[in-house]
């Protein structure tokens, strides 16, 4: 397993605009960069990269995150593969450590909770944008509060339908375990 100190060094060194710039043609836009989405076919740039915050957001697909998340999404890397790619790019020596069974289980639990959280965000965002109830109640509420569509998409805001178990049922159908919901 890659040591925490190596991972920390990768996060401190890797520049989101440099890494993404290897895959997407970016143009300066104020303090940010923008470009065409690498995930959808678009003509107007809606892919934003913030060097200050070290994050990216694709407003056309709703995807976003840090430099590692980009590599995982765009290049279909696993987390360790993304860290290794960045370490190689920035000439960082990878320090390996051995995990105990307990540490492996904790890491798997964290990863499972992360995946469920990511799925929940996408589910509720889809509910907001793609259902009549989401548009009529959730979207209109956000707009009444002065939120622009760009802001709503940037922060991944969503809407929970009136049915209390719709998310749980959908997540279970998709194979997520009840203990993580």
pLDDT tens-digit series, residues 87-132: 999 999 999 888 788 888 888 888 889 889 999 999 999 999 999 9
**What pLDDT sits at residue 97?**
84
Torsion over CA of 20, 21, 27 and 33, rounded to 10 degrees?
30
The domain segmentation of the chain, as residue ranges, is 4-89, 102-174
- Do the two domains 4-89 and 102-174 of this chain adopt the same fold? no
Q: Top-level CATH class of 4-89?
A: alpha beta
Q: Could you identify the residue written with the tokens 């959730």?
A: 138
Total-model pTM: 0.60
CA dihedral sign of residues 107, 108, 113, 119: positive
Given a contact cutoff of 8 angstroms between Cβ atoms, the answer to whether 13 and 90 are in contact is: yes
Tally of CA atoms within 13 A in the half-sphere of 163 that contains its CB? 10
Query: How long is the chain?
Result: 181
Which tokens is 54 given? 């070290």
Q: Which helix (H) or strand (E) holds 157?
A: none
Sequence-distant (6+) residues with CB within 8 A of 160 are 124, 127, 167
- Low-confidence stretches of the chain (pLDDT < 70) are none
Question: What's the confidence (pLDDT) of residue 164?
Answer: 83
Burial-class residue 31 by CB neighbours within 10 Å (0-12, 13-18, 19+). exposed
Rounded CA separation 9/63 (Å): 25
- Are the CB atoms for 6 and 92 separated by under 8 Å? yes
What's the confidence (pLDDT) of residue 107? 84
Determine the CATH number of domain 102-174.
Answer: 3.90.980.10
């Amino acid at each position: 397993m890659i040591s925490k100190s190596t991972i920390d060094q990768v996060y401190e060194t890797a520049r989101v605009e440099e890494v993404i710039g290897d895959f997407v043609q970016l143009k300066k836009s104020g303090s940010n960069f923008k470009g065409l989405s690498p995930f959808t076919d678009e003509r107007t740039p809606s892919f934003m990269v913030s060097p200050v915050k070290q994050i990216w957001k694709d407003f056309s697909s709703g995807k976003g995150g840090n430099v590692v998340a980009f590599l995982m999404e765009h290049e279909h890397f696993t987390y360790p593969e993304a860290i290794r790619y960045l370490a190689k790019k920035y000439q960082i020596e990878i320090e390996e450590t051995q995990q105990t069974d307990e540490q492996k289980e904790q890491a798997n639990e964290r990863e499972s909770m992360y995946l469920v959280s990511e799925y929940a965000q996408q589910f509720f965002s889809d509910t907001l944008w793609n259902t009549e109830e989401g548009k009529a109640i959730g979207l209109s509420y956000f707009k009444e509060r002065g939120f622009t569509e760009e802001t709503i998409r940037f922060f991944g805001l969503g809407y929970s339908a009136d049915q209390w178990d719709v998310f749980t049922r959908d997540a279970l159908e998709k194979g997520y375990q009840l203990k993580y919901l």
